[in-house]
Amino acid sequence: MSMPVDYVERVYAGVLGKIIGVYLGRPFEGWSYETIMERLGEINGYVHDKLHVPLIVTDDDLSGTFTFIRALEDYGSGVTPAQIGHTWLNAIIEEQTILWWGGMGNSTEHTAYLRLKAGIEAPRSGSEALNGKVVAEQIGAQIFIDGWGMVAPGDPERAVDFARRAGSVSHDGEAIYGAQVIAAMEAQAFVEPDLGKLIDTAQGLIPRNSVISRMIDDLRAWRGETADWHTARRWLVERYGYERYGGNCHIVPNHGLIILALLYGDDDFQKSLMIVNTAGWDTDCNSGNVGCLLGIKNGLAGIDGGPDWRGPVADRLYLPTADGGRSITDAAREAYCIANLGRRLQSLEPLAPKGGARFHFELPGSVQGFVSEDSPEAGGIVGLENVAGFSESGSRSLAIRYRGLAEGQVGRVETATFIPSHDVARTFEQHGYRLLASPTLYPGQTIHARVVASPENSSPVQIRLSVKHYNAADEFNVLHSDPQDIDPGGTSVVTWTVPDTEGYPTAWVGIEIEGEGGQPGSVYLDYLTWDGTPDVILDRPAERERNRLAGVSGPRMWKMAWVNGLDNRELRDHADNWPEAYRLIQNRGRGLLMQGTREWTDYQVTARLTPHLCRAGGVAVRVQGMMRYYALLVDADKARLIRAFEGQDRVLAERDTGWRLGQTYELNLQVRGNHLIAAIDGQVILEADDPEQLFSGGGIGLVCEEGRIGCDHVEVRPISARQ
């Protein structure tokens, strides 16, 4: 099957449709049709304001969809159910990320996770034989399936095969068939515009005697009998509703609402989302699947044809997982990740717009999370628009249009590199999943941006790069590069290395604009990206100690930069344990405290550790989650360099050099290419190569096995900085 010429753009529309649908349905998830009609009426647009909840949230439907598909990235086209199960174990932090943690036998996904954790491989982990029919046939396989359809454009058979492999990690029976229908329709929607033919194709790929297939037949018949979707919904409830299909959220009734919305939605994005959300039950899940399918099928024009769905979202997407450097993302970034997986399946080279720039604006309408600063001083000064042109190596750019700037007045546009504010962190904890994330940008890394001034500007404009980082009050300090003047029609390529932030995480990166003479104008951001190795100390900030002595609480955002895969509940709540900055506690097995991104490649980490009571501990590099990393581990008898993969350690080198409880040690681990060097208290003790070099990049980790370790110093440096 040849790749559609508009493949990437259609994937982007599918990703947007998914997140719009989830954000739309999330505020009233689980409500009945009757309650929705009484309190909200038909859902014709976002209603979060009416319910006093945020629009952009952390949501399991999004985290699972855009995380589990990464099994293809790690394992390739032959990925097995067991390997997808290992992706679950790598990405998930128990009772914190992705899943509904409702307990064994109550939450299907939680049940499957506990099976996987106990060593039961997929597909048995999700089987009806092990977990029972009701548990195995809940909705989750369908929720997480969209990526598996989007990587198989025009190949519904492959999409159905992927849906079986991925869905069987946690589900079985009718749940698999429902997921396969969605995946097949999404794959075929890249090449087939007729909805009826999409449904025909999908039905032909699941058992005709399945409940899912019989229900689709009924819904299609009802569409011929009545034009009133409310009536058809009532018939669906009577024959296939929650009264007949038990558990918390069964696949059959909710899949029925998806088909109902598609059949009665007149191929219209807004009307279809209105029906599936007004109909109730699992609104965000069902709405996300409908939005994704119609996004793929009708493209961006279909989304843009109704109300402003995209503006309030601004591509923003948060995916809290154990791989914290990938948590702060956007719709365009995820679209290219999925599209490149699809291209990889067809042996095509990956696409990397503008040399792989993080923010490239190459997809129509994309702003990649950039917003105008909404402070009283800057609010309303600057507007943003994705436009064609003004790019050196691409086709589009981000237009930054400013009104007249008074003397000394600055307009700023920016995008998040970490949790956007202390209030957002608290709101997510109240209304969604905690946003576990690491910053994507660190001191020592170098930002690059290309900016073009409109030839229609009447005067020069001054621009500079800026970052905001948290401070002792969990508010923001602003740092910025030296200003550069750009004449009308001129271009500036700005390069700036992020300075020391005293251990506080960076939260925003952007462009500042100062005009001349109060004249309006425009500049065009061609790209913004960064590279290089962090050069940062991650100790407790000095202000934190002063606040403690003064009896003042906080701050907490510096500690939230760590993704906590330990059992320590206090650390999860970002409490301080004196005198150490970090107290690592693990009750069973091995836990990690992680920070950094997969873009980190060659670097060194140094940590000062005091083992109090533990089986082993140490430091890790190129951490890609809970199950993928290199580490220097020390116990009472030995020091080992290990590669952790799929729950197994491969010892790369070891030495009879242990540590004593209660004594403090400085551990240093360097990684360059496939070569690792480990030192304790300044003395090199181990060197090794990983002949397979499984992990080309990743963040750092502090490791604790069964016990307690104190840590009062962590730093990440370029290797040459200590050699």
Above 70 in pLDDT, residue 191? yes
According to the model, what pLDDT value does residue 574 have?
58
What pLDDT score was predicted for residue 409? 76
Kindly give, in sequence order, each residue whose CB lies less than 8 Å from that of residue 605, ignoring residues fewer than 6 positions away.
619, 620, 621, 668, 669, 700, 714, 715, 716
Residues 48 and 158 in one domain: yes
C-beta of residue 371 within 8 angstroms of C-beta of residue 178: no
> Facing residues of 127 across strands?
none
The answer to whether residue 343 is domain-embedded is: no
**Residue 62 confidence (pLDDT):** 96
CATH code at 443? Answer: 2.60.120.260
- 228-237 mean pLDDT: 98
The answer to whether 81 touches 112, Cβ cutoff 8 Å, is no
Indicate whether 540 belongs to any domain.
no
For residue 544, the model assigns a pLDDT of: 58
Identify which of 664, 481, 499 has the alpha carbon closest to the alpha carbon of residue 580.
664
The answer on pLDDT for 136 being more than 70 is yes
What would the pLDDT profile of 267-301 be if each residue is shown by its tens digit? 999 999 999 999 999 999 999 999 999 999 999 99
Give the pLDDT score at 546.
61
CA angle at residue 125 from 124 to 130, to 5 degrees?
70
* Per-residue pLDDT band at 573 (split at 50, 70, 90): low
Three-state secondary structure readout of 81-144: HHHHHHHHHHHCCCCCCCCCCCCCCCCHHHHHHHHHHCCCCCCHHHCHHHHCHHHHCECHHHHC
Which among 143, 217, 219, 141 has a CA at the least distance from the CA of 173? 141
* Residue 345, both tokens: 């399946």
What band does 547 get if pLDDT is binned at 50, 70 and 90? Answer: low
For 488-513, what is each residue's pLDDT tens digit?
A: 999 999 999 999 999 999 999 999 99
The CATH number that applies at residue 592 is: 2.60.120.560
The alpha-helical segments, DSSP class H, found in 226-346 are 229-240, 251-264, 269-278, 283-304, 310-313, 331-345
Asked if the model's pLDDT at residue 65 lies above 70, the reply is: yes
* Statement to judge: residues 511 and 569 lie in one domain: no
Specify the DSSP element, H or E, that contains 494: strand 491-497
Question: Domain range for residue 431?
Answer: 371-533
Indicate the residue among 514, 533, 552 that finishes a domain.
533
**What backbone phi and psi angles, to 5 degrees, belong to 220?**
-65, -35
Q: Is residue 449 part of a domain?
A: yes
For residues 656-684, average pLDDT: 97
Residues 526 and 591 grouped into a single domain:
no
Q: Given pLDDT bands bounded at 50, 70 and 90, which one contains residue 572? A: low
Are 260 and 152 part of one and the same domain?
yes
pLDDT at 570: 66
Question: The domain spanning residue 276 has which CATH number?
Answer: 1.10.4080.10
What is residue 556's predicted lDDT score, i.e. its pLDDT?
A: 86
What is the spatial distance between Cα 315 and Cα 334, in angstroms, rounded to a whole number?
10
569 vs 62, more confident: 62
d(CA 661, CA 593): 20
Which secondary-structure segment (H or E) carries 206? Answer: none
Q: Do 698 and 583 lie in a common domain?
A: yes
DSSP, res 606 = E
Asked whether residue 478 falls in the same domain as residue 585, the answer is: no
pLDDT recorded at residue 577: 72
Confidence of residue 607 (pLDDT cuts 50, 70, 90): very high
Encode pLDDT of 299-308 as tens digits: 999 999 989 9
Residues 568, 514 share a domain: no
CA dist 623 and 695 (Å) reads 8
Q: How confident is the model at residue 376 (pLDDT cuts 50, 70, 90)?
A: very low
Residues 566 and 517 in one domain: no
Query: Angle at which helices 195-203 and 251-264 pack, to 10 degrees?
Result: 150
Q: Is the pLDDT of residue 549 over 60?
A: no
Omega within 30 of 0 (cis) for the link into 320: no
Q: In this predicted structure, what is the pLDDT of residue 404? A: 72
Phi and psi at residue 572, to the nearest 5°: -60, -30
Are 458 and 571 in a shared domain? no
Residue 309 domain flag: yes
Rounded CA separation 9/604 (Å): 39
β-bridge partners, 702: 593, 619
Asked whether residue 519 falls in the same domain as residue 647, the answer is: no
State the pLDDT confidence band at 555, using cuts at 50, 70 and 90: confident
Secondary structure of residue 336 in the 3-state scheme: helix
Residue 571's pLDDT band (cuts 50, 70, 90): low
Q: Is residue 432's pLDDT more than 90? A: no
Predicted confidence at residue 284, as pLDDT, reads 96
Q: Give the residue with greater pLDDT, 1 vs 153.
A: 153
475 falls within a domain = yes
> In which element (H, E) is residue 22 found?
helix 7-25
Among residues 512, 533, 554, the one where a domain terminates is 533
Q: How many angstroms separate the CA atoms of 670 and 78, rounded?
A: 33
Domain boundary among 517, 533, 549: 533
Q: What's the pLDDT score for residue 520?
A: 87
- Indicate the helix (H) or strand (E) that contains 66: helix 60-68
143: in domain: yes
Q: Over 60: is that where the pLDDT of 377 sits?
A: no
Report if residue 701 sits inside a domain: yes
Arithmetic mean of pLDDT, 414-430: 88
Segment 105-123, tens digit of pLDDT: 999 999 999 999 999 999 9
For residue 41, give the DSSP letter. Answer: -
Query: What is the pLDDT at residue 545?
Result: 60
| 3 state DSSP class of 224 | helix
| Same domain membership, residue 140 and residue 86 | yes
| 63 & 173 share domain | yes
Q: What percent of the chain has pLDDT over 70?
A: 95
Task: Please indicate, yes or no, if residue 345 is contained in any of the structural domains.
Answer: no
Overall number of domains in the chain: 3
Q: Which of 406, 517, 515 is nearest to 463 (CA)?
A: 515
pLDDT in the model for residue 519: 81
Question: To the nearest whole number, what is the mean pLDDT of the chain?
Answer: 94
CA dihedral over 287, 29, 110, 565, signed as positive or negative = positive
Extract the tokens encoding 223: 């569409």
Q: Are the C-beta atoms of 136 and 173 separated by less than 8 Å?
A: yes
Average pLDDT (239-266) is 96
